[in-house]
Amino acid sequence: MMSSEWYTASAPGKFVILGEHAVVYGKPAIVLAVDRRITCSIRRSPRNTLNGEYIDFNRQPHFRYLTRDVHYAMDYVTSSEIPPGSGMGSSAALSAALAMAIREERGEPVDERSLVDEAYGAELFAQGNGSPMDASACVHGKGIGVNIPGAGDRELWTITKGDRTWRVSDLDVPDMTFVIGNTGIRAATGPLVDKVRRYMQSNHFACDVVEEIAAVTLMGYNAIRRNDVEELGSLMTRDHKLLSILGVSCRELNKLVNASLPYSYGAKLTGSGGGGCMVALTDEPQKVVDAIEARGGTAYVVKTGSDGVRMEPTPASGPLMDIPMDYPPRQ
């Protein structure tokens, strides 16, 4: 008799305080998990379905990669509180939750390191490039630092790909208030990472900008340790300008960043850019929310310190938002 027991896991979204794009080249980054999650339930079934419909694995590269050793049909149900293509780690969170549910269903060992390998593998399969930063943040939750010198005693794992190495460490971030503003424009990570890479290959100036992002990130790390919100905020705004020079901001992101600045210590795009979200560090969250919404964005105050990937007692109830997929779908 086929077991039809549900296995359900969820993983948090994330936002990058400092260091996106530069981290792809092995530079430091600082990331926090947020209180918005993707939940994924699976159970054996006579046919493969996703949220009740036939699943086309060619259009769902994360599912295709993560189920590569699953030789029986399943029902997959997802529900998401993380806007897709917004820089908040929706595809890494989906991958982490699906990887955990599959491992539990198969009775395989589940540990953070193997889940990061699975989730990062799915990200690379779907988008073709990138660092293990998002996968690490969505698996571990709370806060992580990447390639932070001197964080060795909090090291979680080291991942190497080609000539790049990412040393991921656990990070405590003091209580700070962040507001996320979503432009509502979906942008895929892969093409933006490619754009920066091409710019760096053709122009040494872009490499200098990436070095400066690395320096700003390390200064930001020290500001976090001192709980110095003014310094951290001004470094975030500087990072936004550097990311704009790299060509990954857009008018809508700049509009939301500029609208937040009068009520913030600092603000910047977060994630891969090109649309998606910005984040502001503030003591006046409602004013920032109002300013973002007056410019057509969707805003909410972030709660940080969320758990990483975990099993859940009740199955996902179906989509609140689209599940993330690669754009355009890879065949």
**Position among 6, 12, 21, 292 found at the interface with ligand MEV (CB under 6 A):** 21
User: In this chain, which stretch among 15-23, 44-52, 110-118, 157-165 interacts with ligand MEV, using CB under 6 A?
Assistant: 15-23
- What is the β-pairing status of strands 277-281 and 266-270? antiparallel
**Position among 271, 274, 308, 324 found at the interface with ligand MEV (CB under 6 A):** 271
Least spacing, CB of residue 15 vs ligand MEV, in Å: 9
CA angle (235, 239, 245) in 5-degree steps? 150
Q: Tell me the C-alpha distance between 95 and 38, whole Å.
A: 9
Least spacing, CB of residue 307 vs ligand MEV, in Å: 20
- What is the β-pairing status of strands 277-281 and 7-18? unpaired
Nearest residue to ligand MEV by CB is: 130
User: In this chain, which stretch among 17-25, 61-69, 164-172, 203-211 interacts with ligand MEV, using CB under 6 A?
Assistant: 17-25
- What is the β-pairing status of strands 49-50 and 74-80? parallel
Q: Tell me the C-alpha distance between 222 and 309, whole Å.
A: 28
**Which pair of structure tokens corresponds to residue 303?**
């709660």
**Position among 156, 179, 193, 302 found at the interface with ligand MEV (CB under 6 A):** 193
Phi, then psi, of 300 in degrees rounded to 5? -155, 155
Residues written for the chain? 331
Question: 198: closest CA among 325, 27, 24?
Answer: 24
User: In this chain, which stretch among 16-24, 66-74, 153-161, 299-307 interacts with ligand MEV, using CB under 6 A?
Assistant: 16-24
E strands, 29-152, are 29-44, 49-50, 53-54, 74-80, 143-146
Answer whether the bond into residue 313 is a cis peptide, omega within 30°. no
Q: Tell me the C-alpha distance between 326 and 331, whole Å.
A: 10
Instruction: Count residues binding ligand MEV (CB under 6 A).
Output: 13
**Position among 9, 24, 119, 269 found at the interface with ligand MEV (CB under 6 A):** 24
Least spacing, CB of residue 124 vs ligand MEV, in Å: 9
Q: Tell me the C-alpha distance between 102 and 96, whole Å.
A: 10
Is the Cβ of residue 7 or residue 274 nearer to ligand MEV in the bound state? 274
Under rule CB under 6 A, residue 285 binds ligand MEV: no
Site string for ligand MEV, 31-70 (x = CB under 6 A): ----------------------------------------
Radius of gyration of the chain (CA): 19
Site string for ligand MEV, 120-149 (x = CB under 6 A): ----------xx-xx---------------
Is the Cβ of residue 16 or residue 224 nearer to ligand MEV in the bound state? 16
**Position among 8, 189, 217, 306 found at the interface with ligand MEV (CB under 6 A):** 189
3-state class (DSSP) for residue 165:
strand
Restricted to residues 84-123, the positions that interact with ligand MEV (CB under 6 A) are 87
Under rule CB under 6 A, residue 272 binds ligand MEV: yes
Which residues contribute to the site for ligand MEV (CB under 6 A)?
20-21, 23-24, 87, 130-131, 133-134, 189, 193, 271-272
